A and B are shown apart, each in its own frame.
Chain A
Amino acid sequence: MPSTSSDRAVDNLPGGLKLLIAGGFGVGKTTLVGAVSEIAPLKTEATITEASVGVDDIALTGGKTTTTVALDFGRVSIANEYVLFLFGLPGQERFWFMWDQLCIGALGVIVLVDTRRIEDSFEAVDYFERTGIPFLVAVNEFEGAQFSYTGTEVREALQLRPDVPVVMCDARSRTSAVNVLIALVKHLQTIDYRTVRPAAPELAAHEGSYI
């Protein structure tokens, strides 16, 4: 018997939203997720078949080697209506091909930067400038960092476009981490999507086979 529209659980499902956190290995992505998430960060696995080139029939290669890539994520409920998910992107270079899939449907990206290894962020910045996904740069100010830079210096080092915000943060601090998210959403409210988002993912695109 069909249920009435008012008592169906599906009508109470929240709308999922997605933000991504990019940055080099060990820059504090999961720390940032944990600082704002209403649940302890969860870990899910994407699987990459490493020996699959030219192999179509998986039944014939039952022992095919796959590598798992962990994705850490957390969530923030938005007024019982939406749930905002924060995903840490795998930082290692060999997983960049997954970013295209993870970016589908993302509102925006936080590129987390460690000023001791600023060069780790060059390619992430380049990637998001090319794909047109809105992003900002958050400088994680590690305690005892040997080199401390101003936002302006980081902007110059990364050769950021003027419209890309740079904010300083302490990824361990909830207040600080929340302020990074606020800065990103405010950025989303002001940027010109006609020019900033030339190659954004299409609405109906599916995520692909890895995730």
Chain B
Amino acid sequence: MSRGDPEAFVDSAAGRLIRPYAVAGGRTAPNEDFHLVTYVVATGRALGDLGPDHDDILSLCDRPISVAEVSALSGLPLAVTKILLSDLLGWRAIDTRAPVPVFERARPSTDLLEKVLDALYKL
């Protein structure tokens, strides 16, 4: 099958046909505010009608939750989840906490690694 053949893309190797970016209004730009392990939480700010996808995501943010979990629990792809979260952040409907920074050519803080070890020993 040639690459120009439309049928070439509809097989098990190519995966299913989905249109996730329809949900995100056609936006595809990467978003710098959100990483997989960025934490988000709803601010409680009252907003008008957001539409079902924003509503679903905002309700997941009732408690502190990571971006990865928002994506997993909403069933939306990560890139789409980040775009919708970006909207919510713009509307001040959520607050965020960036991941713990990991610096180039630098050991993570001694205190941090000790805390991680302590927690692992207790598992």
Contact = CB atoms under 8 A, between A and B. Distances in A.
Contacts of B121: 182
A204 B104 CA distance: 11
A208 B36 CA distance: 11
B66 A75 contact: yes
A174 B123 contact: yes
Contact of B117 (A106, A186, A193): A186
A46 interface: yes
Contacts of B69: 42
Interface residues of A, number: 70
A9 B77 contact: no
Interface of A: 8-10, 12-18, 36, 42-47, 50-51, 58-59, 62-68, 71, 73, 75-79, 81-85, 87, 102, 104-107, 174, 178, 181-182, 185-186, 188-189, 191, 193-194, 197-198, 200-204, 206-211
B95 A65 contact: no
Interface of B: 9-10, 14-22, 26, 28-32, 35-44, 64, 66, 68-69, 71-73, 77-80, 95-97, 99-108, 110, 112-113, 115-121, 123
Nearest to A190: B107
| Residues of A contacting B: mostly | mixed
Given A45-B78, A79-B115, A85-B68, A67 B99 contact: no
B120 A45 contact: no
A206 B115 contact: no
A15 B115 contact: no
A79 to B, nearest CB: 5
A203 B72 CA distance: 25
B73 A42 contact: yes
